[in-house]
Structure 1
Amino acid sequence: MIWYLLYPFRGTTEPPRLSQTHPLRLAFQRHGTATARHWRLSILLSVATAVLLCYPVLFFSAGSNVPGPHNIPHHVWTSTTEFRGGPNTKADVEMRQVWMHGDYMKALDPRVLRQALRVQNALIVNGFGPEDRSGLDSLPAPGDPENSHDTPNDMCAPGSRSLSWAFHSPLMLWNCSLAALESDSDVLATINRRMGQQTYLNFTLRPSSIFAGKSFKDGKLQAADALVITVFDMTKTGIQKSWETRLKALAEDLSDQWSLYPETGMVAGSQLYEFRFRPMTMSDDIFLALVYGLMALYVLASLGKMRAVTSRFGLAITVVCKMSAAIVASFTICGMLKINLAHIPREAYPFVVLVIGLDNIFRLINEVLANPPEMPTIHRIGNALGEVGHLSLAQTLQNLLLLWLLSRVVSPGVAAFCAFAAVALVFDFVFHLTFFLAVLSVDVRRLELQDSLDRLNIAHPTTSTRQEQQPWLGTLIARRVPVQTRLAGSVAIVSFVLMLNWHFFDSANQPFSLRRIFDYALATRDSVNASRVSRTVRPQPPINQARTPAEWLKMQDHDTAKEFIRFFKPNAYSFVARVYDPVFFVLKGADGRKARPHPTSVLYIIRQMTTQHLFPVALTISLTIALVTLLMSYLLSNELLDDLDDGEDAHSLAVRTLPASHGLDIIRLTSCGRGHIVSISLDRSTCIWYYDRSRGYSQMIMKTAKATPPIWPIIGTTIDDSGRFLALLSDNGQAALWSLVDRRFFKSTKVPLRGQLPVFFSFASMDTAEHERLSLVFVTPDGCLTDLDLRSSQQQSHQISQSKIISTSLLCCARGRMNIISASRNGQLHVTTKSANNEWRSETLPDFGPRLSDAGKLSKIRSILTVSSLGLVFAVRQCEVDVFDFHSRSIIHTVRTRHVKPNTLKVLHSHRSSCSCGATTINSLSIVYTEIETHLLIMHTFSIDDSSNSQICLRSSSYNETRACQGLDSAREGLHWVHKPGVWEATHAQSVIGVRKRSSTPAPSSIASGADTNYFEPALDAPSNALKHRTYKPATDLSSLPTPVAHAEPSANEHAENDTADEWEAWTLMSAGELLTTPLFSDAGDASQQDDQLWVSNAGPIARLGKRAVAVGFGNAVKIIMLGNERFEEDTEEFVDPTVMQWRSGRRGLGRKAQ
């Protein structure tokens, strides 16, 4: 509704869509992403919070005065409100009271009880009018044989039963007998035992009606602040004169131990109150049943139309649990705030939460559906919440404002309902952002996983794009029809509150009209203002009271009101009582009566509840969390895994083949973390493989050589990690940008290459003052950097170095700052960054230039590799690799290696954490490369020990001298290698995956001395396709690696005789040294595709795909090798600052094949 009110200012009624960089949108988006990523923690924290808030209502007894279902009337409207009227207004009954106070919260002291009995006898024992009290002393006391029944006898009853007056007193528990009171050794036990008895008027002796300022424990009364004696006058005789006379006499003869207020006993002030007790009518029942029935049908129909959930029943249970927790928790908060909720039937309370809660739920689900299915689950949830989170927040704030405005004009009973609804809306919004959001992310993740399992062969794309026409009702439920539903929630709240309020001003049976509502609103406001004035002018007793008379009167429960109405005005729904100010008797020198303390705060109530109920609450929360954890483990054990690194499937290799799309060999392959693949063939065709979780892979073939302008030959390709953009670069400098979302070229421009092949070509994201800027950056060997802005098409050039650039890599730092690290031919290291004025600048790091090696030779940097997640740079020199921290510009460790083949160095590392010294730590670090002479794949693995809890501190060794943490210098180095690895690529699962030919001859026996003869070449007759090997060598012992030897190559005839399907295998090497292999053609389907495949002499190119898969060009086909279950969901890299948008920056796979 707020968007309609803002129409004159905005010019539209459509809700606003926040920009991608708006702080509120980013806050909701980050919260949604974090909740979806840590869904289990979010669910458990929500459950613990709900149990903590619901415990008082569910487990505290009814006598604790905690508002809840046990203290709310069932099927009944009740109220105790101030009534408009003057001194001459005739009331149905007049009420006069005497309050007896001793020490603070010690009204049950025998001295107070005895004095109360004396006062009661002085004021009431002689009766009023014709009643005669003679002979009462001869009646038996409680406990005598004649009074063995539970109901008190007639000792407290008037001599005449004319019912013109009556009284209600706590002394009725002892039958108004001084002897019975004196003989009672345990007053509290007597009160708790006889509580609930009926008096001679059929009034129930309840703590709320005969005591004020009560304290309970385990449902039993423990203390009270005042005894309350009430006298009722049905105005048939008029007892005012007798009452005043007796009070005046009592004041004159009062003992010195007691004080009277007012001192003369004369009370002039009074207030009219209306007590109402009306059962719900048939129309009320039909209305509520219709409302809740329509809500149930709406929920069932909406869930039935949604594909975003796999378990509609489970999601419905989630919604019920969320709303129930919000409602029950609201009772607890209202109890702490002392809001009386006993005026409206309990059936009405869930209404507002259901109306608003359902709207938020389906708004979020529909937005999740609107996101592309190929988007990762955590990003789908985050983007959806960022898109609609501000709308849910605005609607909640709007409804809170509406409820506050309504509470100013409605009756006090409905105002309490408005306060409850406001608290419930806040809790519903909180649980919506935590509990429901986490469960929804799990359900969406289960749906995607089930789709992946259903698509066991990902090589079969779905070509059907026909969209079935939905019926109008289904479209309406899916919220695609432009029906103005944004007003529904607010209109429902206002209408429902006004209908509730109508029950409190229809005593005159006047017709329902807007004029009647307006008149009553003004009357309510005037009554409230008048009561405030009267309470301000009327003096209060100068003592400290735990409960004031006005508070005591308004907290009487609905059962007491029902008995009063039944007695004073039978067959009616209400009566009006004139309540006179009470007379106070206070024990002189009573403790705690002089100082008037501050009102009890919510923190004090929480502290008191914590002191009394800490152990049972903690036990209940622990038990509930344990049960929920077991339930989640049972329900999701076979459907969802938190850590894909665990389980047997995580260490299994699977090979899939995409359908052949090229006529000649693939020469270039590019992929991204979202599963999209781009292959370029010698037949001048470019094939884009789109990955979709629901349909698998679908292909699109382009003839870029025939485009205008032509894009061929292609020398560079790159995809950003968001899976949105593809860049193609031809040798004449033509850069074409393709939208993977819209499936079209959206930009083409000329860039200066000067006849060179770029050494670096990648997307990069940089934060500016206005927005996030996506650029295409490439570096040519002459040291020139070119920056192409995708938004404005502007180009910037910058000279990094006058020397030739031989290697470049991108390092992403905090707050979106990009650093381009380059190595020049003269051995210098250069860092290029963009300054605040949007200008590139470069600096040379003098400490990392050429240096003398141990052999006395000049050692220069030959290539570099950056690891943004650790903030490290790896500089490859001759037979060594420097590991240095980019931020401190200091060397952490130098690894001795064999001759590293240029641009083959890869780094594997475990999940990072924080050290006690503040630096980053990891459990293990692996450096993998291809040796230039032997073509061995060599892996150096560093770890402290075999424990998963041991951490390596990634800080310079110069700082380690003063700390207890252990760095790479203290780590144990393990050495692993693979013969004839073929083509390979590192993954983010601490492993490398490759494709190679199997050896057709036995493994060579001529190796260097000291080598482990059980090296990594699997035997041809091995019964298993997996071989494990672990060996740890000192860091300096590189002689154990095999030396170059000549091997006999099989002849062409031998090649022809061997089955091609048996020649090739996929393999993976774990960081711990475990080698797994599997045939490249694992089934008959793959083997049969060789008929459409070219003869292959060398596999490749290869590119990393997602976190634990690679794509390999094999002739004119593309094969996908997965380690475990790859879902193409999570980001493929981690950054130091999680708020930084990641853009993929590695060099793509290149390869040339023999034909």
Structure 2
Amino acid sequence: MIWYLLYPFRGTTEPPVLASSHCVRRVFARYGRYIACHVITAVLVSASVATILVYPIPYLFTRDFVNGASYLPHHVWTVAQPLAYDAAVEPDIFTRSVWVHSNYMGALNANLLSSALDLQNELLGETKNFNPRDALRNQIKSTHGGPLSLAERDALHISNGLTTRSWFFHSPLIYWQYSRDIVLADPDILSTINNKKNLSNFANTTLRHSVVFSGKRFEERRLAAADAIVITLFYLKDSPVGKEWEAKASSLPHKVADEFDVYPPDGQSATSQLYEFQFRPISAQDILSLTLAYGLALFYLLSSLSKLRAFKSKFGLIITIVTQIAFSIMSSFTICAIFNFDLSRIPQAAYPLVVLSMSLENILRLINAIILTPLEDSTCNRIGDAFGQTAHTALASSMQNVLILVGLSRLVSPGVSAFCVFAAVAIIFDFFYLSTFFLSVLSVDVRRMELGDALSKATFRQSRLKHKASGSTAFRSDGFFQGKLSLSTRIVGTVIMIGFVVIAQWHFFGDHHLLHRLWQCAKNLNGAQGMRNPETSVFKDLHQARSHSSWIRNQDHETAKEVIRAIKPTSYSYVARVFEPLVFVKKNSDRVPHSKEPTLLPAAYDFLHHQQKGFILIIVAIIFAIRLLMNYLLWGEDAELADREDQAESPLISINSLGSGHVLDVAMLSKSKSGHIVSVSLDRVIRVWDVRGSGSSYVVADGNHVEQCPFPILSMAVDDTSTWLALQSSSRVAFWNMKDRQWSRPVYLDGSAQRPAALFFDPNMNLEKPTIGLVRQDGTLMELTAGEQTISNVSSICSSPVLLAHSVVKTDDTQTLLFLVVLSKDGEVRIAKKQKNRWECRVMDLGARCSKSHQILPLSTLGMFLFAASYRVHLIDADQARTITTFETEEMVPKSLQSSFLSHHTQKPGSAGLKTLTLSYSASETGDCVVQTYVPSDDHETIYLGKATGGTDEDDCGQEPVQVLKKRIKNPGTWQLLSDGRVVGIRQAECSGITKHHGSPGSPGSPELRRRHGTVKRQQYSFSMWEVWTSSPCGRPDMEECRNLFSQGDESRHLVVSGLGPKITVGLRSVAFAFGNVIKVVTVGGHEQYGAEGENKNYDSLINTSGRRRKAGPGSRSSALG
């Protein structure tokens, strides 16, 4: 509702959608990720809080109104409320009372009780052995207008029949049969009072402690002390007993002046107040309304959950929702009871309704946001992102309703006011349990894929489009689970809440005009209009433990019910004119409180005093039981959860420096799938690094192995099994066995100082005798086998000089095919396919599309490759030699294109498909890193790449609509695209006065840019300006980070450089950058996985672990990639 109230200022009723970089959203998202990664901790915390607040309920609530516990709600509407002076209401009964005090909280002693009995006898006449029914049998009637005789008084008692002259009274002295002797002889006054707490008088009203004492103190569910003895007379308008009480009260102060101080001194009650007492059972109309409300809420919940199609978890979600709401309600009951809020004035069936309506709104909004998160993200990221999107709206909505309830509580009657407090506290607890209990249980549900598997693939694409549009969930109006909560669902909770408060107030106002009553209450926030404030009345110096008005409002409901039954048997309420009490205080009494009275519910202190040890044991036992239950439910997932928790404490970016291996700059890098990096430096050292552990390394050649590996090295390659390293120099190709760490016999070449166009291993080779393919610039393809003296095979692939060449591999269940793609200077594209020991070459005519071509990029294992030109990228099937589709791009820097993809196993025979395809390149005009991600359109699940049998098919990607998500990263420096679509790079931070070199990403640092320590002025260069960054294609802040490249004290190990050297991906989410003579291995998203094909079948498992959010590392700061 707050968004509708703010419409004149905001111009929209939609809740605000915070930017992904907004600090509030980042805080909530970080919290959500923490809860999802620490499920057991979150469940234990919420369960502990729930246990602490739910377990005491049987001890704090009771249906016995005299034991210091809170009253339990029943099926009635009850209230004791003052009416305005101008209320046109005739009172049904009049009440006058006497309050007898001694020392503060010292009213329960025999002497004061006997003195109170004397006062009672002075006002009513002798009451010893009072039995008004005897007068009825004697049929004594008054025949004169003088003072009433005892028989006449008794005959008018209400027990002898209800007339306009009837009367009755309440007095605690009935416990001793109104006898002074019995009072003085009683050895244990407190025991007598507590044992006879349910004693009834002749009017069939129970003389409970709340009726006959004021300012009570309870201990161990028993009355321990009271501040005043209360004697109350009830009489109808024509009763002579009331008139005699008033006449005798005016002369009483003179009679007892030696024993009591009397207030008011003249014995006259100058002021009075009309009060209305109600005890209205819940009606059939109320039952029907509540049934309809709960039915609509249940229908709304079931219909909303049915749209999830999560058949496995629908029942579990309902149980979780009901449990959360039950926890919220019972927790609120406990808090309200402890702080003495009387919740018994409204039927108990009404309490869950408001909380249910408010809770469902936030719960379903959160589930909706989780559905719209990318399915390939990890559970922690999905939960965190969804909570970050919705938490501020839920919190604002909760706080709005709390403020509304607090405001209403100041305007409505006391019973409705307590209900408003209850609802406000329940809403606060509901948000707490939503952000702990429900969030953690939901994360387990999503992790187990019971919810995620039921989601349609379309939601994945919608989440992609969502990140493109705004970087956050964009709710729509065309349905709840495809959009924003509709008008009714967004304000239904607030409407139900306010509506119920109004209805409850109407119940208490009866037929009076509701707005008029609210206006009257608003003019007096305390609700007791016309009553004197205790602090300004004549009783101020008495330090009464409870004021008269407070005592009236504290009367129990059963007493009101009994009085109604006595004076208006067919009604549910009565109006009484209550006169201010006549107060008698013993002479020389100490009325100053020497200790502060407990402010909380007495039963709460009793609970802590008697149940403390058992309470603690119960909490420990429940926590232990829940821990065992969680272990059982998450059986087999403990290791994963522990890994998630450990990784959640790690930075998103981790940096490992491989130093002390080279003296001069690293000029070439290569890698193996098993986690090895091969580096060649200008100091003629070839070194193999094992980055799987501590970064150990060994030297392959150091310049002295001229026979095995003469320098310079022109090219090198590592086979897919991480066994062989091939090193090509101008005169030979050397083979190094990386497992056995020994040389194989080299294969000699004709002298050539040119770098080859391509160097690659044959994937079908014999590991004992590895075979490589070498493509020279003249178009010659040579196949060389280790250990053989001569070249195995020489083929002419292209008659004209070669511009570009690259091998392409296609794997399926039966075979592995090897292709060679060549682009000549004449613009001719040739695709050679190896068939046994020969190569079959086909010419592909691209025509004008070949102009300004600068790069061939294979899609590993798919048998396809990307052919990059200046403004477009062609996706080509190597086996069919045809173009599948063309992607339009900005003008890119030559040889800057990189790609990653997520494959999809289609059910179409011979057809390949992609879930996503990411292209990244450097824009030639700005130098920005541009990331273009292609996903299927809303009504498709896959980007089909066509049939392998050739020809154009209607399912080809070129004819299927796709969605494009585009992102730009400014000042990227040197960067690399990872297999999960994220980009990681190293750059120099922009700083005035420093000239930086922006080389092409992917191009090795030029030798002339290298410097040595001391050759550049220190004031012009600082290692602190180097930073490493990472960004996701969807632009989510939890997957982006920027931090310093160097840790403090690490600079001395590095050379001063103005540009980076070569780079290469290692594993699935690591990149090795050459920084002078040191290799910087940057890992994004946790522990690296080696030996996996990141672009193919293992991509899904990678995504589910690599997308986790890490704690920012030292020197990290907010991403500034935009």
Q: TM-score range by the shorter chain?
A: 0.5 to 0.7
Q: Is the 8 A contact 1:1106 1:1126 kept in 2?
A: no
CA distance in 1, matches of 2:294, 2:280: 22
- 1:886 is aligned with what amino acid? S
Where does residue 798 of structure 1 map in the other structure?
Answer: 996
The 1:383/1:986 distance shift into structure 2, 3 A limit, reads closer
Q: Is the 8 A contact 1:343 1:413 kept in 2?
A: yes
The 1:240/1:225 distance shift into structure 2, 3 A limit, reads same
Where does residue 223 of structure 1 map in the other structure?
Answer: 225
Counting only pairs closer than 5 Å after superposition, residues 709-1108 of structure 1 correspond to structure 2 as 714=895, 717=898, 726-728=919-921, 737-740=930-933, 744=964, 746=966, 760-762=974-976, 798-799=996-997, 826=1012, 842-843=1022-1023, 886-888=1047-1049, 1107=1087
Give the superposition deviation at 1:554: 0.5
Q: Is the 8 A contact 2:105 2:227 kept in 1?
A: yes
The 1:843/1:576 distance shift into structure 2, 3 A limit, reads closer
Q: Is the 8 A contact 1:169 1:229 kept in 2?
A: yes
Where does residue 539 of structure 1 map in the other structure?
Answer: 538
Where does residue 698 of structure 2 map in the other structure?
Answer: none
Counting only pairs closer than 5 Å after superposition, residues 435-584 of structure 1 correspond to structure 2 as 435-447=437-449, 476=479, 478=481, 480=483, 483-485=486-488, 486-507=490-511, 516-525=513-522, 531-536=528-533, 538-584=537-583
Report the secondary structure of 2:508's partner residue. Answer: coil
Q: Does 1:380 align with 2:382?
A: yes
Match of 1:301 among 300, 303, 306: 303
Report the secondary structure of 2:399's partner residue. Answer: helix
CA distance in 2, matches of 1:611, 1:361: 38
Structure 2: tracts of 5 or more residues without a match: 137-150, 464-476, 646-673, 675-719, 722-762, 764-808, 822-856, 869-881, 903-915, 936-962, 1026-1039, 1055-1060, 1073-1080
Offset from partner CA, 1:31-72 (integer Å, 9 cap, x none): 222222222222222222223233443322528979999724
Report the secondary structure of 1:81's partner residue. Answer: strand
Report the secondary structure of 1:296's partner residue. Answer: helix
Deviation larger for 15-24 or 50-59: 50-59
The 1:114/1:1127 distance shift into structure 2, 3 A limit, reads same
CA distance in 1, matches of 2:93, 2:1062: 98
Where does residue 114 of structure 1 map in the other structure?
Answer: 114
Counting only pairs closer than 5 Å after superposition, residues 562-641 of structure 1 correspond to structure 2 as 562-591=561-590, 593-594=591-592, 614-638=612-636, 641=639
Q: Is the 8 A contact 1:7 1:13 kept in 2?
A: yes
The 1:475/1:870 distance shift into structure 2, 3 A limit, reads closer
Give the superposition deviation at 1:246: 3.1
Give the superposition deviation at 1:290: 1.0
The 1:602/1:506 distance shift into structure 2, 3 A limit, reads closer
Alignment RMSD, CA only? 5.7
The 1:116/1:641 distance shift into structure 2, 3 A limit, reads farther
Give the superposition deviation at 1:190: 2.4
CA distance in 2, matches of 1:90, 1:415: 26
Give the superposition deviation at 1:12: 2.1
Q: Does 1:340 align with 2:554?
A: no
Where does residue 979 of structure 1 map in the other structure?
Answer: none
Structure 1: tracts of 5 or more residues without a match: 137-153, 456-460, 468-473, 509-515, 648-652, 668-676, 689-700, 753-757, 765-773, 780-784, 809-821, 834-839, 846-867, 874-884, 894-901, 906-982, 993-1100, 1145-1155
- 2:1022 is aligned with what amino acid? S
The 1:666/1:496 distance shift into structure 2, 3 A limit, reads farther
- 2:569 is aligned with what amino acid? P
CA distance in 1, matches of 2:1014, 2:233: 101
Identity of aligned residues (%): 33
Counting only pairs closer than 5 Å after superposition, residues 289-438 of structure 1 correspond to structure 2 as 289-307=291-309, 310-438=312-440
The 1:409/1:290 distance shift into structure 2, 3 A limit, reads same
Q: Does 1:1127 align with 2:1104?
A: yes
Give the superposition deviation at 1:680: 5.4
- 2:1089 is aligned with what amino acid? A
Give the superposition deviation at 1:227: 2.0
Where does residue 20 of structure 1 map in the other structure?
Answer: 20
Offset from partner CA, 1:306-353 (integer Å, 9 cap, x none): 156852222222222222222222223333443333321111112211
Give the superposition deviation at 1:196: 1.7
Give the superposition deviation at 1:563: 0.5
Deviation larger for 239-248 or 376-385: 239-248
Counting only pairs closer than 5 Å after superposition, residues 252-291 of structure 1 correspond to structure 2 as 252-254=254-256, 256-291=258-293
CA distance in 2, matches of 1:572, 1:563: 12
Q: Is the 8 A contact 2:897 2:919 kept in 1?
A: no
CA distance in 2, matches of 1:685, 1:589: 105
Q: Does 1:179 align with 2:207?
A: no
Give the superposition deviation at 1:355: 1.0
Give the superposition deviation at 1:414: 2.2
The 1:35/1:108 distance shift into structure 2, 3 A limit, reads same
Report the secondary structure of 1:432's partner residue. Answer: helix
Report the secondary structure of 2:240's partner residue. Answer: coil
Q: Is the 8 A contact 1:301 1:477 kept in 2?
A: no
Q: Is the 8 A contact 2:332 2:429 kept in 1?
A: yes
Where does residue 59 of structure 2 map in the other structure?
Answer: 59
The 1:547/1:189 distance shift into structure 2, 3 A limit, reads same
Q: Is the 8 A contact 2:810 2:817 kept in 1?
A: no
Counting only pairs closer than 5 Å after superposition, residues 231-242 of structure 1 correspond to structure 2 as 231-242=233-244
Give the superposition deviation at 1:373: 0.9
CA distance in 2, matches of 1:194, 1:46: 43
Q: Does 1:38 align with 2:38?
A: yes
**Bigger Rg, structure 1 or 2:** 2
CA distance in 1, matches of 2:492, 2:583: 53
The 1:620/1:68 distance shift into structure 2, 3 A limit, reads farther
CA distance in 2, matches of 1:135, 1:487: 65
CA distance in 1, matches of 2:901, 2:1014: 29
- 1:570 is aligned with what amino acid? P
- 1:581 is aligned with what amino acid? E
Where does residue 910 of structure 2 map in the other structure?
Answer: none
CA distance in 2, matches of 1:825, 1:336: 74
Give the superposition deviation at 1:425: 1.7
Give the superposition deviation at 1:201: 1.5
CA distance in 1, matches of 2:44, 2:970: 55
- 1:560 is aligned with what amino acid? T
Offset from partner CA, 1:411-444 (integer Å, 9 cap, x none): 3332332232222222222222222222222221
Report the secondary structure of 2:74's partner residue. Answer: coil
How many residue pairs are counted as aligned between the two chains?
798
Q: Is the 8 A contact 1:830 1:843 kept in 2?
A: no
Q: Is the 8 A contact 2:273 2:530 kept in 1?
A: no
CA distance in 2, matches of 1:748, 1:170: 84
Counting only pairs closer than 5 Å after superposition, residues 161-172 of structure 1 correspond to structure 2 as 161-162=159-160, 164-172=166-174
Where does residue 673 of structure 1 map in the other structure?
Answer: none
Q: Is the 8 A contact 2:92 2:576 kept in 1?
A: yes
- 1:29 is aligned with what amino acid? A
CA distance in 1, matches of 2:359, 2:372: 20
The 1:831/1:328 distance shift into structure 2, 3 A limit, reads farther
Where does residue 126 of structure 2 map in the other structure?
Answer: 126
Where does residue 957 of structure 1 map in the other structure?
Answer: none
Q: Is the 8 A contact 1:251 1:260 kept in 2?
A: yes
- TM-score normalised per structure 2: 0.60
The 1:466/1:268 distance shift into structure 2, 3 A limit, reads closer
Offset from partner CA, 1:812-868 (integer Å, 9 cap, x none): xxxxxxxxxx995747899999xxxxxx953599xxxxxxxxxxxxxxxxxxxxxx9
Give the superposition deviation at 1:273: 0.5
Q: Is the 8 A contact 2:215 2:226 kept in 1?
A: yes
